[in-house]
Structure 1
Amino acid sequence: MTHHLPVGFRFAGVGAGIKASGKKDVTLIVSDTPAAAAGVYTQNQVVAAPVVLCRGRTPLNDARAVVINSGNANACTGAQGAADAARMCEIVASCYASDVQPEQTLVMSTGVIGHFLPMEKVEAGIRQAASQLDGSQQAFLDASDGILTTDIGRKVTTRECRIGGRTVRIAGIAKGAGMIGPNMATMLCCVFTDAPLSAAQAQHMLSVAANKSFNNISVEGHTSTNDTMVLLANGQAGGAEFSDREQAEFAEHLEAMCIELAKQIPTDGEGATHLIEVRVSGAASEADARKISHTVASSNLVKTAVYGCDPNWGRIVSAAGYAGVPIESPKLCLKINGIALFENGEPLAFDAKAASASIKNNRTTLVELAVGQGDGACTHWTSDLTVAYVEFNSEYTT
């Protein structure tokens, strides 16, 4: 598959020995010119040192690099953790003499909480990555691999579009398979574009895109200490600043790409056999629809029913009922994979075996729930809850 990579970015991903497996665990991404940078972060009150550092720097007008390590979250590590996060930025800058400053660098970490970073390995990994930076397809994929932890596979997406007579490219990498219950973005995500955006524009667009994509995914509802999503825009596509219409057009592309990338996370949820897509409509507002879709998607009874290929509609409508927002019970309607199970507040006769087979034979289970006649709508994506998930997470650190 050919990836449409933004002009003026270079990538590297290397194995520095942070992970016992020897897999890639340090990623470096550098813009050849200063880039506008924006970020959205975890709403957990317990946050990792890299989150604190990046929150203090974004939005940023002249970002140059993002450095990421996996295998160690650098979370709950106190003053030493803060110093180590800052040191990672200093190491990046030292690889470029005076061309890149530490304060132009953003940092992320992911992995086990409560362990200090092995800084000798981290430093060696950053320097190795800096020596291997490249704008090639393989370098981009190497960078995407370097941020993974329990993920089965890499999570990437790119797109190329024409806006205002110029070609604009957007690329994104993400990681996440467990501890997914974000309230901002996702575990880790980096989006890069050669579009001409100011830091303020990038921040607004990223916040809106995150709210329509990464804020609407979950695996088990656990909000991480390290959730971070950043957007870098270096303007290398050329041309004048976007007009209002062109900004709106770019925002649509960004949101669609973020949704595509976000869905890959619950699809790869630890032990998952299904992606569950919960579409809620007819609510009084988007906020109400969001609460309902999130509640249904967070229900362990709904998640285990899908794992068992059981079209148990009672679990879904009852979850909608305790979401804490008004619904019109006599107008409740439910479909699973297009099969109507419940309509206008009453059960329908349906072929249970056919409905079960539709779940079993498809990786994605589509739940469509109408809760009234309002304009509010929202979609949430989650994974089913499996025996494999329980076994994996009961043994994660032991």
Structure 2
Amino acid sequence: MQLPQGFRFAGVRCGIKAKADRKDLTLVVGDRDLVAAGVYTQNKIVAAPVVLSRSRTPSSAVRAVVINSGNANACTGQQGDRDALAMTNLVAKACDLDPSSVLVMSTGIIGHKLPMDRIEQGIGAAADQLNDSSDNFLAAADGILTTDQGRKLAFRCEQIGDQKITFAAMAKGAGMIGPNMATMLGLVLCDANLTKIDAQRALRVAADASFNSISVDGHTSTNDTVNLLCSGTASATPLAEEHLARFTEVLTDFCIELAKQIPADGEGAHHVIEIRVGGSDCDADAKQIAKSIADSPLVKTAVTGNDPNWGRIMSAAGYAGVLVRPELCQLKINGSMVFDKGQPIDFDEKTISESMAADKTVVLEVTVGDGPGTSVFWTSDLTTDYVTFNSDYST
């Protein structure tokens, strides 16, 4: 595990979560001013930490991010706004920073006020434990989890122009996951030297192809946040304009690697469903079709049962609300053609069902015409475990 330079980490338990062995507060601090970019939920009901952090990004003077899990600080009114701001003040005091240089993320149950006495204790403990070790990075990754079965991490090193850039990232998310972000937090760290505008542009492109192209249940949350923090230690000067496209490409691929771990850990999930759509008039139309398929409970349950029920898939493509040319439509399931030129073809249902059962990932390739539009989208199947878990999540 190689980490970018210029960051220190801590993850502690402060008692927000009921379980005594679960960390629930994470602190990441830059050794100097960080370039920060952010993308956030598109839900109209927005949690207090999102409002605060969104107002502070993009920036070239962020120094820290504080994250709590177990409590979303969403739908908590003016008190929630005051508590999010208080978290920045507590970090600033503990780490000798300007309060305006601190970002906040929260995740957990909606509608509960934060236990600020415990938050204060946790921030103090985390500040005392800050260092740049791999163990501390992993502790920080643990502190952001809620219903996740385990950490979601990614690491990479890339030579881009004159900068050898190291990336490291952590994320959380397993349920209440819908495109246009999800109940998901992501923190991407790198040592690239970028301007705040270039960082924001790159993150928007990367998020659209990754975090905005996943779902578990189609439920867009109130707290979704992904921040990109750049320490600038890889070079004394910002990345040259001619290398920005390559940086965006690498960041996008890196974010896809991280984002795919979220539906793979969908609550009760047995499969990841990878939906590849081609032939649309434009990429946006292809994505709308892919999302329509991903959100279909009939498609998701068919995959749970390893049932190559192609009619459900094509039906979902057809009601997506964009142009589909039936006479040109094709569908492959795990590489096997099951529908071609608008009509069924003979295929071995048992063989395809066995291929679905044998692999964690089921690939659906849908062609809807002869246009240039394409999209790749990831979701999870729908199991009885998901229903059981979410029927008693808050009780």
Q: What TM-score, normalized by structure 1, do the two folds share?
A: 0.98
What's 2:2 paired with?
4
Residue aligning to 1:16? 14
3-state SS of 1:375 partner: strand
**Percent identical across equivalent pairs?**
57
Alignment correspondent of 1:149: 146
Distance 1:239 1:58 in 2: 22
1:232 aligns with 2:229: yes
Aligned residues: 394
1:85 maps to 2:101: no
Displacement of 1:172: 1.0
**Match of 2:213?**
216
Shift of 1:164: 1.8
Deviation, structure 1 residue 184: 4.1
Q: Distance in 2 between matches of 1:284 and 1:266?
A: 28
TM superposition shift of 1:240 = 2.4
**Structure 2 equivalent of residue 254 of structure 1:** 251
SS in 2 for 1:211: helix
Give unmatched runs, 5+ long, in structure 1: none
Q: CA deviation at 1:89?
A: 0.5
Residues 186 and 215 in structure 1, CA contact (< 8 A), matched pair in contact too: no
Residues 104-127 of structure 1 show CA distances to partners (whole Å, capped at 9, x for unaligned) of 000000000000111111111111
What secondary structure does 2:235 align onto?
coil
Match of 1:130 among 123, 127, 135: 127
After TM superposition, which residue ranges in structure 1, 4 or more long, deviate above 2 angstroms? none
Match of 2:62 in 1: 63
TM-score by length of 2: 0.98
Cα distance between partner residues in 2 of 1:161 and 1:287 = 30
Q: What is aligned with 2:157?
A: 160
Distance 2:205 2:160 in 1: 20
Q: In the alignment, does 2:190 pair up with 1:190? A: no
CA distance, structure 1, for counterparts of residue 245 and residue 304 of structure 2: 39
Following superposition, the deviation at residue 101 of structure 1 comes to 0.7
The question of whether the paired residues in 2 share the 8 Å contact of 1:210 and 1:258 is answered with yes
Q: Does 1:245 align with 2:264?
A: no
Separation in 2, partners of 1:38, 1:153: 26
Distance of 2:163 and 2:101 partners within structure 1: 28
Residues 63 and 185 of structure 1, relative CA distance in 2, 3 Å threshold: farther
Q: Distance in 2 between matches of 1:210 and 1:4?
A: 23
Partner of 1:38: 37
- Following superposition, the deviation at residue 241 of structure 1 comes to 1.8
* Counterpart position of 1:314: 311
Counterpart-to-counterpart distance in 1, 2:164 and 2:182: 27
Summarize deviations over 1:232-284 as a string: whole Å, max 9, x none. 11211124221122111111110001000000000000000000000000110
CA distance in 1: counterparts of 2:211 and 2:66, whole angstroms:
21
- Compute the displacement of 1:186 (Å): 5.8
Secondary structure of the 1:12 match is strand
Residue of structure 2 in register with 1:110 after alignment:
107
Structure 2 counterpart of 1:13, one-letter code: G
In structure 1, what is the Cα distance between the partners aligned to 2:378 and 2:360? 13
SS of 1:358 mapped into structure 2: helix
Write the distance in 2 (CA, Å) between the matches of 1:219 and 1:173.
19
